[in-house]
Structure formats: structure tokens, C-alpha cells
Structure 1
Amino acid sequence: MHFLDRPASPLNRRQWAQWTAAACAVAASEAAAQSPAAPDSQRTLAVAQIADMSPGQQDVSRDFLVGSRAAWQDLNARGGIRGRSVQHITLETDGTSANLQAAWQAAQRQPGCVALSGCVGNAAAAGLVALQSSGGASPPLPLIAPWLHNAVSESEAETVFEVFPDHQVQITHAVKTLASMGVQQIGVIFATAQIKQQSQGYVAQAAQGMGLQTQILPLPGSGGAAAKQLSNPAQTILLFLGGTPELHDFASKLVTPAGRQCYVVALADVNLQVLAQMGGTAKGTSIIATQAVPLVTSSAPIVRAYRETLARLYDEPASPQGLAGFIAARYTAEVLGAISGPVTRVSVLSTLQRRTDVNVGGFSVAYQGKRRTNAYVTQSMLTPDGRIVG
């Protein structure tokens, strides 16, 4: 587990990765030195972000983390929360449950830490939801804007506050878009058996509602006739559920007959920028990624702020995952700034549980009861010649 604080100067991706590797545990010792008995105006105000940097998740987590880091750095440069800087504590994990639990416990031990914000990717966020529900911390750290595939239950929503549309909403949007194009049948590929178990019901429900026929293709890695069916599917429209590495492996093996175009529709865990850098997408194949945030080319104030801050602080291209991390941090800051009294775990949790509608630069977060009532779902496309449109 890596325990990191934010850098003080602009970094490109390579420099940032080198810095984070060298800075492990520095913030932990500094935060531990703060006195919990100090007046509220003098106490360190901190938020923790847990990021899964395992090979299957790092393409999403890395951009998400850069977006959040940029938001907190920009906020502090503009005066922080009512004049108080916010310490952004980053805990990187390796994808194991033991490492995740250690990171969660480390965040709980920080006396100035008032929330978990923008925890990413899905496995880590889902694991944190389970840890929150175990009742092992009192008072609990609110879990704000996690990157989750599945919506939380009523009881989990007491301490977990969703901002981004889950897989069910994304799948419904993707299927609805395909149905509106006059598509009659699509092929569906699940990257793993676990994803198939989690999402097959959502796909079937959405397709049935749109009068769309689906054919579930074999799992990637299958041999014999199944492998041929995967590399040369009969359908021209394919729905892929999995991450960037799995999609790259699948798409690079597609065989598209001359004169035929194939479209692969993926969900928000796919990073088109990384996919374009990896190359190897089959000729005649376009990748359409359904995103959980506005388009990065949008004129919405939050998107403009993200692009401008990223350009100023980091040598990074804008990405939907980075925008999501930026939004997660800005939403958290809005919540903290709305608290009139002392900012503590209890006051942050109490404020969040009221679920007041918040507009973050044109990105609206609204609830009915404990359920989010709005969802931004957009789509971008990676063309066969490597251009990203949208």
C-alpha cells in the first residue's frame, strides 16, 4: 500500500508516477502528528482517496486520481475550504482484499480525515462499501462519489453517496442508442465469468425493453469453435463489458471482412486514450465508449474548469475518467463548504445524509430519497484510424 500526499508543482504522467513511488508514507507520519484536540480552525482538514493500481484497473484509476489531485490542488491555491487547505491523502492498493482493508484502516486512523472521496476502481469501491457496512468504524468515514458498477442498497446508502451512473444505467443507455439506430440484434461479450454473472441480467432486461435480440458470445480465452466465433462474430454491433486491457485483447483479434464495419460498444471502465495508445485495433473496427460524465469537449463550466486546471498543472490529455475524478473532488468540496459549524466526520455524514441537490458547474447531483435521480451518460468513439470523436 502506498500512502501519498499531493505534489506541489505541475508534473507530467511519468514524473508523477516517479514522485508517488518515492513519497510513500510521508503523509502518514505528518497526518499522525496532528493533534485531534486542536481547535477546528487549526486542525488539519483532510480527505482520503483509495485507488486500485492493479494492472487491470490502473488505466482507469490513474486518470481518475490525476483529475482529483488537480481539483484539490486548484482548490487549495484558491483558498481551500473557508480559508483552510485540504490535505489530499492518496492510498494506492494492489487489488488484494488485505491491502484494501489496510488502506481503509489507515484512512480511519487519520484524526483530520473527514471523508473518503472518489475511491476507484470498481473492485476497490465495492470492497470499501462492504467494509463500511461491517460497522468496524465509529464514527464512519462517509464514502463520497465512489466509482461503482452496481448501485448500493438502502442500508449501504447510509454511509455511501453515489454520484456517477452505475452499470445498469450505462447499459440501458447503450442499448437504447443501438435500438434507435434500427439495430435488430447485437452480440454481447463479457470479459470474465464474474462480469457475466454481475451484468447479464441488466443486459437482458435492457434489451427486452427495447425489443432488441442479444446473442451471448463465448468468454474470451475460449478455444476451438468458440474462439472463431469471438474473432469473427456474425453481428456487426457488439456490446463489450470489461476493462481496457481485456477490450484491447479482444478487439485486436477481430477479423472484419472487406467492406464491412464493426462497432464495439463498451462501458465507462474503458479508457479510449489508453486504448488508442495501445494500438492493434482491427481494421474496420470502431470502439464506442459509454461514459458516466459529460463529454470532455463540453462547454459546461465543470468541464472547462477541468480542462483548464489539467492543462495548467499536469502534462495530461483530458479523459472521461480524469473528469470523473475532478468532479468527485469538486462535489466533495461543495459538501464540505456547505457545513456552517466544525467540519468533522459526524457533520460531513449528517450533511450528506440530507441529500441536498448540488450543482457542480453544470453537473447536477440530485436524489429522491436515497436514490440518485439523474445520470449523465454520454458516448465517445475511437475510429479505426485512431481518432477520438466526442
Structure 2
Amino acid sequence: MRRRTLLAAGLAAGTPFPVLAQARQRPVVVAQVFDASPQEQDVAKDFLIGSRAAWQDINARGGLRGRPVQHLNVEVDGTPASIRKAWQELKDNEACIALSGTVSDPVATQLTALLRQDAQAMAHVAPWLQNASVEADDRTFPIFASRQDQIAHALKSLSVIGVSEVGAVFASAREHDLSRDDVARSAAELKLRMVPFRNTGDLSRLGQGLGPGSPALLLFVGGTPELVQFTQGLDRQSRQRYVIALADVNLQTVTQMGGGRTTPIIATQAVPMVTASLPVVRRYREVMARLFDEPPVALSLAGFIAARYTFEVLQKIDGALTRQSVLAAFQRRAEMDVGGYRVAFNEQRRSATFVTQTLLTADGRVVG
């Protein structure tokens, strides 16, 4: 698929960010580990572009206390061996003071475990850590709503309008294993009957084959290409269905790929609407329009906010920027307003559970 070939063209691993030509000081290195596996590179591409845009804008405005920031992109293929290799290289890179915006969720989960295992003094900031069952320790600082938070938000909306039953469609065995407990727990708390559907082959066939007695409202757990396949099957049915997707889905890409032509899709997202008037969102739109030929989407806004939050904490540090001083600054978990996006950590060491929803109508409009 076209979007899945774009990473190789423009986001090659290890490509350093251009530093300020006039800066004579050694650049500060902030590393971002991104997942180029076929299952996750759609998510990683958008998130990474947003982070790159933010760091380039930061450097254009003077960098970090007058020092340029080298945004080091580290590509992994999602396998444990690849992630361990990347982590080892970053540990050995003495100039690297922090990790920021790790993406995808499976890679963020594995990297969180490696940091805990090695007990390294390295801050793991704003990872795309969707898995609610992963404990955030004193090295990892998640600022985006988890998958469970998103599911709870979506299902609560349904319960408010009197829905008593929802289908849960898992795009793969992997998604089923990662998310079934979160879905079941959220449904039970809201007294909703959950009917699970686990894909074992062709998602289009699964969508087309849902019987008349299956729920009209379907929670879909999977990525953008998988959602397209599923809704293309639903589109062949005469019965109207409504699909609820999570923040890993790009609704604009769903439209481009021909999904949801007659099936309305509601997607949760862990950031404000890309049309919002918040200062950080306005800056994001301006920078993206200036630097990249990419439309504004929720996942790249998340990457932009991840970089901006990292920068805001770093610039408040007094004294030398070392791994130890950086980690100590993030461990304070101070409340922060990142251009209108509020970061406030709870007892589980995760930030506030901000969730919004976007509707992709059957005629292809994205409505926030």
C-alpha cells in the first residue's frame, strides 16, 4: 500500500535533524524510536512527522537554550531483537539525554520493559503507550490516553444514548490478546453486553458475513488498512452499521483507501481536534503547512505534542543537561500546559485521560 512505502522514502532510520548552522555548541540529542513493521508503520509515519516538525520549528527558534537539538530517528522492525539492538545503541550514545515519542504501542511497551530491566537513568517521554496494563515506572512518562481510556469513553457515549449491546471486532489474534481485557472490563463497568468477533482470515469477509442478529454498533480494534477491509465488507450488507475505531486509525486515509463508503465511522483520539483553536494546535497546523506536504491528522498532532512537551520540560532545567538531570526533571511530574494541552499525572503515573471523537460520515466528510 502506498502509505506503507512512504517511510522508506523520507524517514530513514538514524537520519539526524538539521542543526542550526550558526550554533557552535555540541547539539543536544533526543532520540525517537519508531516502528517500521508492516502492521504499525502507518501509525509511526504520522506520529514521527509531527515530532520532526516540532523539533525543526524549535531549532528554527533558537533550539534548547541556544543549543541545537538533534532529533535522532531510530528505526526498528517491531521484533524484540531489533528493539534491544536499538536500545543498546542509544545507551552507548553518551550525547543522547532522553527518548521522546516512541511509537508504536508494542514497541513502546517493549522499550518500557527494557528501561525497567536495565535500571538506566534515561527518561522515556511521551511514548505512544496505548496498553493500559503496562505500568509506568519512574522512567516512563505517558501523556496520552490509553486504549482502555478510549474504549471507556466510546462505550460510555453509547450507554448514555441507551445502547445495551456492542460488538467488539478484533482485527487479528494479536489485537485480540492485547485488547480483549480492556474491552471486556469497560463494557462490564457500563453494563453493556459485549459480543466479540475475532478475525481469523479475511476482514472483508468477516464484515460481509455478520448475521442480522449481530449488533449494529461495532467497536473495531485494529489499524487503518484493516478497518478499510472490514468496512468494505460491511458496505455490501443492506443493514446499516456504525463502527467505532480507536486512535491508531487515520480517518482521512480510510477515505482515500475507499473504506467506510456507506458505513459511518466514529474514531476516538487522544489529542484535541486538528481544527481546534488551542495555541499548540494552531502552531502545529502552521508548521505542518510550512514544512511538510501532509494534511493535519490526529496522529501527527500527537507526535508534535510529544516533542513540545519534551522541550518544555527540558528548557526549565537549571544547569547541565545530563541524563540524570533530565530524568530528575521529568520525575517531578509537574502539571504543565503545553499550548492548551494539559499534562497532569495521576496515581498510576499516567497523564490526564483526554479523549475526543471524530465522525467519518458515509459521504466522506470528517466531522469533529
% identity of equivalent residues: 49
The reply on whether 1:114 has 2:94 as its aligned counterpart is: no
TM-score, normalised relative to structure 2? 0.90
Gaps of 5+ in 2: none
Aligned to 1:262: 241
> AA paired with 2:9?
Q
- Secondary structure of residue in 2 paired with 1:51: strand
- Is structure 2 residue 192 aligned with structure 1 residue 212? yes
Tell me, what secondary structure is at the counterpart of 2:234? coil
Q: Deviations over 1:336-357 (max 9, x none)?
A: 0110111110001011111111
Indicate conservation of the 8 Å contact 1:48/1:89, yes or no.
yes
Q: CA deviation at 1:151?
A: 3.4
Give the Cα–Cα distance (whole angstroms) in 2 for the partners of residues 188 and 16 of structure 1: 31
What amino acid is aligned across from residue 32 of structure 2 in structure 1? Answer: Q
Of the three residues 126, 141, 165, the one matched with 1:145 is 126
Q: Is the contact between residue 33 and residue 73 of structure 2 (CA under 8 Å) also seen in structure 1?
A: yes
Query: Distance in 2 between the 1:370 and 1:217 partners?
Result: 31
Map 1:139-178; keep pairs closer than 5 Å.
140-151=121-132, 156-178=136-158
Q: Could you tell me which of 178, 183, 186 is aligned with 1:198?
A: 178
Q: In 1, Cα distance between the equivalents of 2:59 and 2:334?
A: 24
Distance across 2 between alignment mates of 1:200 and 1:216: 9
Distance 2:57 2:213 in 1: 47
Report how far residue 181 of structure 1 moved: 2.1
Deviations 1:90-131 (A, max 9, x none): 011222222222222222222211100001011111110111
Q: What is the letter of the counterpart of residue 126 of structure 2?
A: A
- CA gap of 1:290–1:220, structure 2 versus 1, over 3 A, is farther
Which position in structure 1 is the counterpart of 2:329? 351
Q: Which residue of 2 aligns with 1:374?
A: 352
Residue 17 (structure 1) shift: 5.1
Q: CA 1:219–1:350 in 2, change beyond 3 Å: closer, same or farther?
A: same
CA distance in 1, matches of 2:104, 2:30: 17
> What residue in structure 1 maps to residue 163 of structure 2?
183
Report the secondary structure of 1:376's partner residue: coil
Alignment-mate amino acid for residue 98 of structure 1: A
Q: CA RMSD in A?
A: 2.7
- Work out whether residues 59 and 69 of structure 2, in 8 Å CA contact, stay in contact via their aligned partners in 1: yes
Cα displacement (A) at 1:44: 2.4
User: Which one of 267, 270, 284 corresponds to residue 292 of structure 1?
Assistant: 270
Q: Determine whether 1:239 maps to 2:219.
A: yes
CA shift in 2, pair 1:152/1:285, >3 Å? closer
Alpha-carbon offset, residue 197 of structure 1: 2.6
Residues 167 and 25 (structure 1 numbering): CA distance in 2 closer, same or farther, change over 3 Å? closer
Match of 2:59 in 1: 76
Maintained 8 Å contact 2:244/2:265: yes
Partner of 2:111: 128
- Give yes or no for contact 1:256–1:262 (8 Å, CA) kept in 2: no
Unaligned runs of 5+ in 1: 1-12, 32-40
1:232 and 1:322, CA in 2 relative to 1: closer, same or farther beyond 3 A? Answer: farther
Report the more deviating stretch, 95-104 or 324-333.
95-104
* TM-score (norm. length: structure 1): 0.85
Q: CA deviation at 1:248?
A: 1.5
1:173 is aligned with what amino acid? Answer: H
Structure 1 position 81, deviation (Å): 1.1
Equivalent residue for 1:105?
A: 88
Following superposition of structure 1 onto structure 2, how do residues 250-329 of structure 1 map, counting pairs within 5 Å?
250-255=230-235, 257-258=237-238, 260-281=239-260, 283-329=261-307
Deviation digits for residues 157-201 of structure 1 (CA, Å, limit 9, x no counterpart): 111111001111111001001112221211111112232233222
Residue identity in the other structure for 1:120 = V
Q: AA paired with 1:296?
A: V
- Quick one: distance in 1 between partners of 2:6 and 2:202? 39
* Partner Cα separation in structure 2 for residue 373 and residue 66 of structure 1: 23
Alignment partner, residue 9 of structure 2: 18
Contact preservation (8 Å) 1:68, 1:325 = yes
Partners of 2:351 and 2:200 in 1: CA distance: 35
Q: Could you say which residue in structure 2 is the equivalent of 1:37?
A: none
Change in Cα spacing, 1:69 to 1:233, as seen in structure 2 (3 Å) is farther
**Do the aligned partners of 1:56 and 1:245 also contact (CA within 8 Å) in 2?**
no
